Each structure stands twice: as C-alpha cells, then as structure tokens.
Amino acid sequence: SLKPSFMEIVSKVGPSKMAEMWPKFEEKMKKDGMNETAMAAFKYTYGVLVSGADVMIPESKLDPVESLTEYEKLKEKPDPRLLKKTLILKLNGGLGTGMGLDKAKSLLEVTGGLTFLDLIAKQVATMKKEFKTDLKFMLMNSFSTSKDTLEALSKYPELGTGSDLEFVQNK
C-alpha cells in the first residue's frame, strides 16, 4: 500500500513529538464541536505532514489515458428531466489566506463587478428558468467562508437560504 499507517507515521516522528503536538489540536477541535471522524482524519493527515513521509505517487505508477471521446462526438441527447435528480455541489470552503485574502476566493471580482460566486449563481438560476425545474444547488463551506458567502448569495433568493443552500465542513 502507498499509504503509510498511523503507527508508521508515529514511529518516524517519534511518539513524544506526536504526544507533544496533538493535544493542542485535539482541544481546539473538541471546543469547536468537530466530530470524531473529522478529528481522526486531521490527526492522521497532520501526522503524515510532520513525519516527512513521502506520499507522492511516482509517475512510473501512473498510466496515461489511451483515448478520450470528444464531446462533439458523443451520441447521448440531453435530458432535462434528469435535472430533477441533480444537485450542483460547489466546494467553497477555503479562505485564500495563502493569496492574502480574508474571504472565500469565490468572492473575488472577476468581470463587470461580478464575483465567481455571482457567475455561479446566475448560471444555476438560468438553468432553473430555462429547464423549468427546481435544480438543487448547495455549497460546501467552511466556518470561515459561510457568513460572507450566505450574505453574498442573499441577492439570489431563488437559490435558497441557510441550511438548504450550504453545509459546513466537519460540522
């Protein structure tokens, strides 16, 4: 298996180093109400990070795509009835802190005073109107992006509000 076990990670980092670092993270996550599964995933991933383990998949293990049908050559016909069973889910849960932002990257203005989020909202609204269907739309936000995003989307009430429009990661 390419994925190291938690015990392999601990043995590289040293049990005392994990014991020193983990309690602070665990305390904060418990205080914030994070569930056990999310905490275990973070513990594992953080352990991999601090261990220095090489988790890259070598290029020699990857196979190229032999052939890919061009979109124009597909024979399937669009069926708008399928939209009633469709949910558009957009990952919106990361601040662009690495880019110097203090808000969701989707709130960056891209053209004509519109943000990425405005363009997405308009696209969904257009599909709902054009295909006369209640196409479902949801965002996967983080605790950091939720408030600003819901505020920005309040001008599109046809998309939904609150819990029918988003879920917050790890909550």
Mean pLDDT of 145-169: 85
CB 152 within 8 A of CB 115: yes
CB 81 within 8 A of CB 29: no
CB 90 within 8 A of CB 120: yes
pLDDT of 100 higher than 90: no
Rounded Cα–Cα distance for residues 51 and 53 (Å): 5
Characterise 14 by phi-psi region: left (phi > 0), alpha (psi -120 to 50), beta (else): left
Mean pLDDT of 19-31: 87
| Mean pLDDT for the chain overall | 83
pLDDT of 110 higher than 90: yes
Mean pLDDT of 76-94: 87
Q: How many H-runs (helices) and E-runs (strands) does the chain carry?
A: 5, 5
